[in-house]
A and B are shown apart, each in its own frame.
Chain A
Amino acid sequence: MAAAGRTARGLRRVPGTAAPQAPRTRQEPREERRRRRPVQYKLFSLGAGLDMPLLIFILVLLAIGLVMLFSASYAYSYFHYGNSYFFISRQAVFAVAGVIAMLVISTFDYHRFHQLAIVIFGISVFLLVFLLICRYAHIESIARPEGTATRWLDFGFVSFQPSEIAKFALIVMFAHMISQNLEKMGTFRYGVVPYVGILALFAALIYLEDHLSATLIILALGAILMFVGGTKPKWFILGIILLAAGLTAILMVKGGYQVSRIMVWLDPFSSELDPDLTHQTRQSLYAIGSGGLLGVGLGQSRQKYLYLPEPQNDFIFAVVCEELGMVGALVIIVLFAMLIWRGVYISVHAKDKFGMLLGLGITFQVGLQTVLNICVVTNTIPNTGISLPFFSYGGTALLMLLGQMGILLNISRSANVEKT
């Protein structure tokens, strides 16, 4: 396999460096052939062809994430549910289920998503619209409002954020569309219009939930895939200008809330701001600062004792910083960076463009969320609700994340990379 991999890699390098048109005729039939060849995956051979570094990064991050979730959540859990294990026990169940799902999905040929793309897209749009309907119909048992926003759909047995599904739907849809129209990506009609249309639809629907951070992430994900796919750079410049204008308009029109977030960001210890507004950021920085270089020790955080709001969720990384210090935080950041690097590495070495785009989309989604979450926690950017992959509490989110990791692992099976 290794010898074949080297050969294939050598061949695949040619189109990237030489003129794109010339070798395409030779390349396409080969891809066709590979696709048609049935892959003989068996359950007992789950490990066969899996990228071990990626799997290890995933499992290590998941393990650390669970430990930190327990540490961060038990005080909060105890005070709100009378049971220190409330969060960790649920999360653990989902983690186990998620890992199983991940391994199963890693045997599921990702090319099936060509066909599933439109279905997933449809479901996603339906769910987004459904959420909005429920929201404006004030069906709060289903559309659970949180503050000004309504992000969760709750069907009793399961609750999730449709925007999470939308992100995945967008990745699959874009990967599918771009890989089908690679050669026309340079044109306005095929390279810009359909994607902008889809993006605009998603962005509008999610924005109507009052979920600005998810809106921005989905726009970023779409743009990244378009950029990699070959959309002309000028459109991005235009897009960024339009986005900036749009954000400015939002700030002007909806002003107050978003402006105050920026004020808090600029000076979280300002005595002029409402202490309720600065509370979360302040407590997060207290926690981070308390950790110092080496941390106060695992389980020793004081800030998690009801000072830090929802320490098991968006601000779990503050507890990490407090307990494990700067050194511990850096170790975790490096692990994330290695996961991202490995995800991207696998993606660019994927067997085909669809695999590449799908893998990149998934990896970037994790990467963006991670970076943005940690930036928020450390007050590097204004506060906005983004959870930390593998760490933050949320069963369905973890399940979806691990499912997507499964897809990435599946891509790795057929990718031309050293897998040990």
Chain B
Amino acid sequence: MWRKAMGLTAALVFIGFGAVLVSLFRWQIVRGEEMSNAALDQSLRSTTLSAMRGSIYDATGKVLAQSASVWTVVLEPAYFDDYKERDPDTVRRTVASGLASILDMDEEEIYEKTQGNSYFVYLKRRVETSVRDQINEFLEKNEISSGVRLIEDYKRYYPYGTVASTVLGFTGTDGQGLEGLELQYDTELSGTAGRLISAQNAWGTDMPFEYEQYVEAEDGYNLVLTIDETVQSILEKYLAEGVEQFNVKNGAVAICMDVDTGAILGMAATPTYDPNDPFTIYDEGLQAEIDALSGDEQDEAFNAAQLKQWRNKAVTDTYYPGSVFKMVTYAMGLEEGVVTEDSTFTCTGGIMVEGYPEPISCWKHAPGHGLETFREGLYNSCNPWAIHIGQLLGGETFAKYREAFGFTESTGIDLPGEAVTLYHTESELINTPSDLAVESFGQNFSITPIHMITAAAAIANGGNLVTPHVMDRIVDQNGNIVKTADTSYRRQVVSQETCDVIIDILRQNVEEGTATGGYVAGYRVCGKTGTSEKVAQHNEDPSKPMEYIASFCGFAPAEDPKYALLVFFDEPDDDTNGGYNGGNAVAGPYFAKMMEEILPYLGVEAQYSEEEYAALDTIAPNVTGLTLEEAYAELEEAGLSYYVVGDESDGSIEVTAQVPQSGGAVPKDGKVVLYTNGYDEDSTYVEVPSFIGFDVTNASYLASINQLQISVSGSSSETAEVTGQSVQPGEKVQIGTVISLSFVDNTNAETGATVETE
């Protein structure tokens, strides 16, 4: 009997508890974590604590983008039932009417939302702190302790509005970066959201003991850019001016780069927008077009317009670099030794290329440029010379250098959406001579503006390819540097010697060649024009006239190039410019204007020639409020003459106004018009004439007969003509007003190069 008993016991203990052990092992060890997580999931209520998004600063510490606290109003309907002493429904009503008036919402709608058993119903997002204070005050006054919750959130502000918007991008409703740098550095900027975890029992109320875990939100890192707000604003100001002047149809780009580091100091693109409200269309004409549509078409047009204004054309759009590219071809030729500075070639206005039925023509048609040296070939922007170099190099070598200059890969710029370049393959270049020929002068080969300026910077800095970048460093909230931009050279592409030659030719090019539009008094500027034909677009619809991209790429100062600048206008309207669509006439003057302001700002000292010094403007002193006698003395001291409008009978009469205003620019030998009293208001206004097409002498004469003054910028050559004026013709201004005129020497300026479209 005891054996049976023992046997049964053993069976019970071993089988029973053995099975239990297996189960325990299975559920506690093998699937323990899974069970544990599931248990936690059902019992933990987690509230996300937003992390403050990092700020974006420009190179000088100006805040370009910043987040500030806003509040999300949330209802917790389930808690209203806790108001047992008061009637829960009365409380709901009170809350609804109170919040409705504070938040300017519909009372019934809020009341609806206070119903139910939920613990989280969004009421309104992004409420300013002042509104939150009102809500808190209201809740306190009505002794409402639960049911309404305010959660901190952040809103993005861009203090400079449209400035650098295409680079900065913007954020979405949840604070996530959607475009530009906000997207590129989203992870770094956004930080890590925190969590407040509290345990709740199965009835949804907090457990009676403390179980709270608070994971603090880690604020995002700050971004310090290489972009300088001042440079950026200069670029944007003139770019917008140019777009308006030339009625540019397809946007424009200006990029300013430090040639040694690849740091982008400014990157402007049009159209633009205000990232504080990115969804509005800022192009009024476009908005009007959209308004005229309806239904799906309207939506489509609206979306397209949004995308267009958000685009950073400087990196997302490709174009044919055109003649600007010749500086690269010439550098290749020199580096490879297939040509020397003394080599010559005869341009007959066109060149026959194997496998192509017609001659590929130079912009200067037959008889062409004639016999040219290497130097003349570049500053004449001669197409056959470039083709000649390409042929001497051969497809293989050309492809090698093209790759070395970075045209076949991403530039590595830290901005989203960099377009992929399009080019003929090496074997195409070898087997199809015409492909090689056209690429030699920058046609039928698509790159982005950032590719072009990076290659130009390589020539400017002595042959080193840099990585363009807009982020200088990432710093945490305590100012510790987390990451810095890599400013090392990607590779040496061509030698310093080669670069020195090209730099000198490009300097000469601006002074007397085909790029005189880029002339900047006081600075020795290097530049190359480009006028690319939009061949593909033209081929699609040959009934429309050929469109161009007018570009100008250069750097300064020539003695030690520091800053490169690329300006391009996509589809300028040549009717606005006396038929001149070329890079020199259209982009050149704006290149000059930008450089003129950027270089002194960046601390590049001006060195004027005597001639230049004489043409310099001075600053009009403040003579308003003085007596005439005092004013005369002051102006004479400043080397200026004067002209009085009104009563000048007595030297003690007070000057009531002056033109130009105090601090305004006035030509060195110019006049300041002094207004006293007793003059006919109307007679002091004159209509501004059109100066376009006049040379300096004639422009001065025209100004004087209109009682106006001119300030000259751009080319100082005898043959230079006015291509732009600071005040539009027909506008009325006070006499003595200084009109700034842009002079461009177009006698030697290429027009749209012609290939395959004769």
Contacts and interface: CB of A to CB of B under 8 A. Distances in A.
A368 interface: yes
B35 interface: yes
Question: Which of A330, A379, A380 has the most chain B CB within a 10 Å cutoff?
Answer: A380
A396 to B, nearest CB: 25
A378 B203 contact: no
Nearest to B201: A305
A341 interface: yes
A329 interface: yes
Interface string A363-397: 11001101110110011100000000000000000
Given A302-B199, A329-B24, A292 B29 contact: yes
Interface in B4-53: 4-6, 8-9, 12-13, 16-17, 19-25, 27-29, 31-36, 38-40, 42-43
A375 B19 contact: yes
B5 A228 contact: yes
A344 B24 contact: no
A375 B16 contact: yes
Given A79-B203, A375-B20, A380-B20, A326 B29 contact: yes
Chain A, interface size category, equals 35 or more
Given A75-B208, A292-B32, A326-B24, A368 B12 contact: yes
B288 interface: no
B36 A367 contact: no
Contacts of A291: 28, 32
Question: Which of B29, B34, B201 has the most chain A CB within a 10 Å cutoff?
Answer: B201
A53 interface: no
A224 B8 contact: yes
B84 interface: no
Interface string A264-306: 0000000000000000000001111111110000000011011
Contacts of B17: 333, 336-337, 371, 374
Contact of A289 (B35, B199, B211): B35
Contacts of B201: 75, 79, 305-307
Contacts of B705: none
A320 to B, nearest CB: 11
Contact of B39 (A289, A344, A378): A289
A78 interface: yes
A353 interface: yes
B19 to A, nearest CB: 5
A368 B43 CA distance: 34
Interface string A84-98: 000000000000000
B203 A289 contact: no
Given A75-B208, A224-B8, A302-B39, A321 B28 contact: yes
Interface in B214-233: none
B105 to A, nearest CB: 37
Given A230-B1, A307-B43, A364 B12 contact: yes
A293 B23 contact: no
Nearest to A17: B3
Interface string A64-82: 0000000000010011000
B24 A340 contact: no
A348 interface: yes
Contact of A364 (B8, B199, B211): B8
Contact of B42 (A288, A307, A379): A307
Contacts of B5: 228, 344, 347-348, 356, 360
A349 B203 CA distance: 53
Contacts of B42: 286, 307
B36 to A, nearest CB: 4
Nearest to B203: A306
Interface residues of B, number: 40
B35 A286 contact: yes
A325 B28 CA distance: 8
B207 interface: yes
A291 B24 CA distance: 10
B32 to A, nearest CB: 5
A289 B34 contact: yes
B27 A305 contact: no
Interface in B585-605: none
A20 B33 CA distance: 57
Interface string B603-618: 0000000000000000
Which secondary structure dominates where chain A touches chain B? Answer: helix
Contact of B1 (A16, A75, A307, A374): A16
Contacts of B36: 286, 289-290, 292
B202 interface: yes
A378 to B, nearest CB: 4
A207 interface: no
Nearest to B3: A16
A336 B9 CA distance: 12
A227 interface: yes
Given A356-B1, A371-B16, A375-B23, A293 B9 contact: no
B24 A378 contact: yes
Given A292-B36, A333-B20, A340 B9 contact: yes
B8 to A, nearest CB: 6
B25 A326 contact: yes
Given A326-B25, A337-B13, A353 B1 contact: yes
Interface string A214-253: 0000000000100111100000000000000000000000
B223 to A, nearest CB: 42
Contacts of A356: 1-2, 5
Contacts of B33: 289, 292
Nearest to A360: B5
Nearest to A371: B16
A304 B199 CA distance: 12
A155 to B, nearest CB: 33
Given A337-B17, A371-B20, A348 B32 contact: no
B139 to A, nearest CB: 29
Contact of A228 (B1, B43, B211): B1
Contact of B13 (A16, A288, A330, A340): A340
Contacts of A348: 1-2, 5-6
A333 B208 CA distance: 31
Contacts of A79: 201, 203
Interface in B77-101: none
Contacts of B2: 16, 348-349, 356
Contacts of A75: 201, 207-208
Contacts of B21: 330, 333
A307 B43 CA distance: 9
Given A79-B201, A371-B16, A344 B28 contact: no
A75 B24 CA distance: 25
A341 B6 CA distance: 9
A379 B4 contact: no
B387 to A, nearest CB: 73
Nearest to B206: A305
Given A228-B4, A364-B8, A290 B35 contact: yes
Contacts of A285: 27, 35
A344 B7 CA distance: 10
A379 B20 contact: no
A293 B154 CA distance: 43
B22 to A, nearest CB: 8
Question: Which of B22, B25, B28, B202 has the most chain A CB within a 10 Å cutoff?
Answer: B28
Contacts of A353: 1
Given A292-B32, A341-B13, A363-B9, 10 more contacts: A16-B2, A228-B5, A289-B32, A292-B33, A293-B28, A302-B207, A306-B202, A321-B28, A378-B24, A380-B22
22 contacts: A75-B207, A285-B35, A286-B36, A286-B39, A286-B42, A290-B32, A292-B29, A292-B32, A292-B33, A302-B40, A302-B43, A305-B199, A305-B207, A306-B203, A307-B202, A356-B1, A356-B5, A364-B9, A370-B16, A374-B20, A379-B27, A380-B23
The 10 closest A-B pairs by CB, nearest first: A289-B35, A371-B16, A378-B23, A306-B202, A305-B201, A348-B2, A286-B39, A290-B36, A344-B9, A380-B23
